[in-house]
Amino acid sequence: MSEIRSTIINKNGKNNENNRTHTNTNKQKNQNSEDSFHPWIKPDSKCYITDGMLKLHYEILDFCEFIKLNDQENSLRQKTFNYIKDLIESKLIGYKCKLYGSYKTELSLPDSDIDILILSEDAMKDQNSKNKIMEELLKKVHELLFSTKSFSYLEIIKAKVPIIKCTYKETNINVDICLFRKNGIYTVKTLEKITESFPEIKSLIMVVKYTLRQRQLNQVYKGGVSSFIIFSLVYYYVADVRKKIADDIKKGAKVEELTLGHLLVGFFDFYGFNFNFEQVGISIRNGCFLYERKDDGKNLLSIENPQDISQDMGKSCFRFRKVVETFKFARDSLYYPEKSPVVSYLCGFIFPDDILKKRAQNY
């Protein structure tokens, strides 16, 4: 664990530079003055009575509590799903609707859409006519939704995996509808199983997702990273840290308790500065491992699809260098001189936006 701890703020607030040049220290000091924007920190927050990594740990928990969907937001999403589900299942006999994606795994951001999967065992028995069935069904679903006049936006997106994108008027919730992709159900089950064993992953994912969302780097069709790729990056890092802790314990070494603060800074440091993307890729199968890259190297990120190891999920992430730069910026934003007055660590790289401002009014 020494190679990880040598690059992050320690528990009493001091910092080890590890021969790295930090160029934005003064900027960060100014950003973290008493009047900076950090509405997720309540007056009674434990952030005010702690310092260093423990302070960051509590701030991460505060931020996740602040940003998670509230009862009203959950209700609107459930209402939207129920409407579409009841409509499709009543009119298209033999088809079922299932929720999947971030909303199902409780990793949604306030402006996230909901993902709906349409399934039919009978329709998919004939694999030879799969594409034709999908094309015809997409048109039927589109026509059905259009006939209700209940959607302010409705469009078929003809991508590699065709989907219907729509917005339900009554709730103003955006929806993505896809067909027959059982990997969506697999992904939900995988995330639920892993986060049960690694509960710290959820908090880290929410902070990383929001950081990338603010920079429009979480939009797959724009070359950003999907929620599942963010999950895979976080999962590999946390699993790797746990393995090293276990090895240290076996060797009889004294291991300090790691907080969410240690893990967040370590995550940004690991992928921003230390990970060799050009030579290795990531697999989250069998407890996570790295593999030697043997592709053309045109895409910076290589990450194995756990359902189909011949597929590289990183190929679509053509803006991943921007993602890495964001991780570097976030890592350097968490560097502070020992006596620098710090109210919020996160507001060094999470900036005021419409979502945060609106939530601050009602929090």
Higher-pLDDT residue of 335 and 55 is: 55
The CATH label, of 3.40.50.10800, 1.10.1410.10, 3.30.1280.10, 1.10.1370.30, for the domain at 2-68+190-362 is: 1.10.1410.10
Is 221 a residue whose pLDDT tops 70?
Answer: yes
Question: Taking the CA of residue 22 as centre, how many other CA atoms within 13 Å lie in the half-sphere pointing to its CB?
Answer: 21
Is 12 a residue whose pLDDT tops 70?
Answer: no
Euclidean distance between CA atoms 328 and 316, whole angstroms = 21
Q: How confident is the model at residue 256 (pLDDT cuts 50, 70, 90)?
A: confident
Which residues of the chain are in CATH 3.30.460.10 domains? 71-187
Q: Do 109 and 356 touch, CB atoms closer than 8 A?
A: no
Is 5 a residue whose pLDDT tops 50?
Answer: no
Higher-pLDDT residue of 322 and 187 is: 322
Q: How confident is the model at residue 30 (pLDDT cuts 50, 70, 90)?
A: very low
In whole angstroms, how far apart are CA 23 and each of 28, 37, 324?
A: 10, 22, 17
Instruction: Work out the burial of residue 199: count CB atoms within 10 Å of its CB; fewer than 13 is exposed, 13-18 middle, 19 or more buried.
Output: exposed
Euclidean distance between CA atoms 20 and 13, whole angstroms = 18
Residue range 71-187, CATH number:
3.30.460.10
Is 338 a residue whose pLDDT tops 50?
Answer: yes
Look at 146-155, 173-182, 235-244, 347-356 and tell me which has the smallest mean pLDDT. 173-182
Euclidean distance between CA atoms 166 and 42, whole angstroms = 36
Instruction: Work out the burial of residue 74: count CB atoms within 10 Å of its CB; fewer than 13 is exposed, 13-18 middle, 19 or more buried.
Output: middle
The model's pTM is 0.86
The residues near 92 (Cβ < 8 Å, ≥ 6 apart) are: 137, 140, 141, 144
Q: What angle do CA 296, 181, 78 make, to 5 degrees?
A: 125
For residue 24, what pLDDT is reported? Answer: 41
Which residues of the chain are in CATH 1.10.1410.10 domains? 2-68+190-362
Highest mean pLDDT among 84-93, 218-227, 290-299 belongs to 84-93
Model confidence over 151-166: pLDDT tens digits?
Answer: 999 999 887 778 899 9
Mean pLDDT along residues 199-209 = 97
Model confidence over 74-100: pLDDT tens digits?
Answer: 999 999 999 999 999 999 988 999 999
For residue 238, what pLDDT is reported? Answer: 97
Mean pLDDT along residues 123-128 = 54
Q: How confident is the model at residue 125 (pLDDT cuts 50, 70, 90)?
A: low
